[in-house]
Amino acid sequence: MTATSTPLQRSGAPALRFSNVSMVFPDGTHALAETSFDVFPGEFVTVVGPSGCGKSTLLRIASGLNPATSGSVTVDRSSLGYVFQDATLLQWRNVLRNVELMAELEGIPKAERRKRAQAAIDLVGLTGAEGKFPKQLSGGMKMRASLARSLVLDPSVFLFDEPFGAVDEITRERLNDEVISLFQRNGFAGLFITHSISEAVFLSTRVLVMSARPGHIVADFNVPFDYPRSPELRFDPAFAELSGRISHELRGAHS
Amino acid sequence: MSMAAGSGGLGMTPPGTALEMVGPSPRAKRKFELSRFIGPPIVLLVFVAIWQYMHVSGMRKFFDKPGFLLPSPFTVVNESFGHALARDKLLNGVKWTAVVSLIGLSFTIVVGMLLAVIMAQARWAERAFYPYLVALQAVPILAIVPIILSVFGTGLLPRLFVCAMIAFFPIVTNTLFGLQSADVGQHDLFTLRGANRWTRLWKLQVPAALPAVFTGFRISAGLSVIGAIVGEQFFRGGSKPGIGIVMESYRQKAIYPQVYGGIILGSALGIAFFLIFGWLGRRVVGNWYEASGRS
Ligand SMILES: Nc1ncnc2c1ncn2[C@@H]1O[C@H](COP(=O)(O)OP(=O)(O)OP(=O)(O)O)[C@@H](O)[C@H]1O
Ligand SMILES: [Mg+2]
């Protein structure tokens, strides 16, 4: 467990803290081993790691969907956003009513949640598609709706589980821009999972590398680029250099 | 400011490109409509032709039976619906059968769906009820006629009971299947916000179940007609004659055309129910439901 650099902007209490979290599934699968790290408000932390190393499990434990076998997670779950890998929209609700869902479950009055849903829809660029049903949406539009649905509660901690794995490169870059502007605008603490190193570096203030199963953090990279980040950043030599180092760690993690 | 940049990027996506890919092209649609209207009459024509042939010479040739046992389709229509006496008798019969099956079906729907909701609440509840559901499906009506008679006596009730018994299974199994069809990720959403059982039921499981529920309705609607007719056969007294009893009385007098007329009316009733529930289902879930496979 080597921390290769110290993050810059950490202050106060962490928004999300993993302390020695281990996870063994009932069937004996050892998914996480003694994982510890913090995400502070205003930090955007991305986790990369081999497939099956326990990244999704990490988020499920953070959100309370699964309890950890041992160790503890400290987080305010009343204000938690969670974007799943699949859009998981309700087929029988149109975009507006889907985006309203979380607010509805939270018991927010109709007029208020309508207003918030509409604002979130406008923010993710789905204006005009409010009345469409999920079957009428493309993959990218579904992900946007899913993103908007989480935004409605204006979460202070935002979990993303490989949300853009299934969309094409250009759409993914656009959605990345979108996430960055949301991050800058709302200032949440972000924990993002991806398989793409360039996506990780482009979005984050920090990139964590996880080992193969049982997963734990093996490297911690600070990403020094300023926000807002322009698409050209992806071709910056410093960007390539950092990506190279992460890639190297990741290859080590696979073995 | 940076937000504007992001939105600008998104704004470049031509709206509606993905939407136009959804659904069949207009041409495919037109072809489909045409086949829908032309197909059934052609099949009917072939069917009537074979029927007429069987009446004229087929019965004799293949089965060595007289042709009058299978009257010509024209005779059937003429004798059954051409004369006021027979027509009124048959129509009144089918009307009463329709009433009985509708009452039986409504009862079945209410009780069946309630049972399915209970069974969907816990694995053990499902396990506890399922064997009896299968048993109910398997038990021959004939075997329990004496029991039904002793419990309900004569009249409308025993007929309704038989009707409900026959129509029950598909309602319960389809509703249960539907309630369990919401996917794990959707359940996770509700878990995240700490939704209780009722919220989950009303906002997730019930809407997710609707397509399957309507499939159940459609199947059970047809079965309820069969159930009503079967019920009439066993419990004749104490209530008005339905189409089954009317047919039986014609058969006893060896008047065959009206028997076939009754069959036509009985099937028409079943088809009408099937179509009504199919239409209703499309009205309710057609907007959002995407049938898997070709539609
Ligand atoms: N409910 C479960 N029961 C048993 N094993 C599980 C369960 N959920 C996940 N696992 C196992 O735990 C390990 C970690 O799973 P997880 O989904 O967290 O991986 P991941 O890092 O997200 O992988 P990917 O990158 O492919 O999404 C895997 O080996 C998986 O098979
Ligand atoms: Mg995963």
User: Closest approach of chain A CAs to the CA of B25, in angstroms?
Assistant: 15
Q: Phi and psi of A31, rounded to 5°?
A: -90, -40
- Average pLDDT on B74-93 reads 91
CB contact set of B10 (below 8 Å; sequence gap of 6+): A124, A125, A144, A174, A178
* Cβ contacts from A onto B, under 8 A: 103
Q: What is the phi-psi region of residue A54: left when phi exceeds 0, alpha when psi lies from -120 to 50, beta otherwise?
A: left
Contacts of B22 in chain A (CB under 8 A): 135-136
| Residue A37 falls inside a structural domain | yes
Residue type, A191: L
Q: Is residue A193 part of a domain?
A: yes
Decide: B21 and A137 in contact? Cβ < 8 Å. no
Residue nearest (by alpha carbon) to ligand 1 atom 24? A51
> Do A216 and A161 share a structural domain?
yes
Say yes or no: A234 and A170 in one domain.
yes
Q: What pLDDT, on the 0 to 100 scale, is given for residue B67?
A: 85
Kindly state whether residue A2 falls inside one of the protein's structural domains: no
Residue A255 lies in a domain: no
Last residue of a domain, one of A133, A155, A177: A155
**Do A135 and A172 belong to one domain?**
no
pLDDT average, residue stretch A92-108: 95
Rounded CA-CA distance B217/B210 in Å is 10
Mean pLDDT of A171-194: 90
Cα B54 to middle of ligand 2, angstroms: 66
User: Given its phi and psi angles, is residue A125 left (phi above 0), alpha (psi -120 to 50 degrees) or beta?
Assistant: left
Which residue of B1, B22, B191, B192 is the best one to mutate when testing the A interface, meaning the one whose CB has the most A CBs within 10 A? B192
- Whether A194 maps to a domain, the answer reads yes
Rounded mean pLDDT, A126-137: 94
Task: State how far the Cα of B92 lies from the Cα of A134, in Å rounded to an integer.
Answer: 48
**Residue A159: alpha-carbon gap to chain centroid:** 4
DSSP label of B14: P
Q: Do A140 and B13 touch (CB under 8 A)?
A: yes
Whole-angstrom Cα distance, residue A80 to residue A10? 20
Instruction: Decide if A117 is inside a domain.
Output: yes
CA distance A2 to chain B (A): 33
Residue A239, domain CATH = 3.40.50.300
Cα angle B141-B146-B152, degrees, rounded to a multiple of 5? 95
Residues A24 and A145 in one domain: no
Q: What is the mean pLDDT of residues A123-134?
A: 92
Q: Are residues A22 and A146 in the same domain?
A: no
Query: How much of chain B, in percent, has pLDDT values that exceed 90?
Result: 58
Residues A151 and A125 in one domain: yes
**Mean pLDDT for the stretch of residues B219-229:** 92
Domain assignment of residue A216, given as a range:
13-76+156-245
Which run of H or E residues covers position B192?
helix B184-192
Q: What is the pTM of this model?
A: 0.83
Q: Which of A64, A88, A181 minimises the CB distance to B6?
A: A181
User: Does position B12 have pLDDT exceeding 60, yes or no?
Assistant: no
Please tell me the predicted confidence (pLDDT) of residue B32.
Answer: 64
Query: Of A112, A128, A155, which closes a domain?
Result: A155
**Per-residue pLDDT tens over the stretch A27-44:** 989 999 999 999 999 999
Least confident of A6-20, A164-178, A240-254, B127-141: A6-20
User: By CA distance, what is B187's nearest residue in A?
Assistant: A88
pLDDT over threshold 60, residue A82? yes
Asked whether the predicted pLDDT for residue A196 surpasses 80, the reply is: yes
ipTM summary value: 0.89
Q: Ligand 1 atom closest to Cα of A57?
A: 18
Q: What confidence score (pLDDT) does residue A168 get?
A: 83
Contact B189 A177 (CB under 8 A): no
* A1-5, A180-184, B118-122: least confident range: A1-5
Of the listed ligands, the closest to the CA of A31 is 1
Closest among B175, B210, B207, B204 to B280, alpha carbons compared: B210
Please give the mean pLDDT across all residues of chain A: 89
What is the separation, in whole angstroms, between the first and last Cα of chain B? Answer: 47
Q: Are residues A35 and A131 in the same domain?
A: no
Q: Name the pairing type of β-strands A80-83 and A157-161.
A: parallel
Q: Above 70 in pLDDT, residue B15?
A: no
Q: What is the pLDDT of residue A228?
A: 86
The count of structural domains within chain A is 2
Residue at which a domain ends, from A155, A180, A207 = A155
Q: Kindly determine whether residue A177 and residue B5, on different chains, have CB atoms separated by under 8 Å.
A: yes
- Structural domains in chain B plus CATH codes: 76-294 (1.10.3720.10)
Are A164 and A238 in a shared domain? Answer: yes
| Amino acid symbol at B289 | Y
A52-68 per-position pLDDT tens digit: 899 999 999 999 999 99
- Is any Cβ of chain A less than 8 angstroms from the Cβ of B20? no
Both tokens assigned to B271:
């088809």
Instruction: Tell me, yes or no, whether A133 and A107 share the same domain.
Output: yes
Mean per-residue pLDDT, B85-93: 92
The answer on A144 and A94 residing in a single domain is: yes
At B4 the pLDDT is 38
Residue A251 inside a domain? The answer is no
Choose the most confident range, by mean pLDDT, from A164-168, B40-44, B70-74, B173-177: B173-177
Measured between alpha carbons, how far is B22 from A94 in angstroms, rounded to an integer?
16
Query: Within an 8 Å CB–CB cutoff, is residue B210 touching chain A?
Result: yes
Residues A65 and A184 in one domain: yes
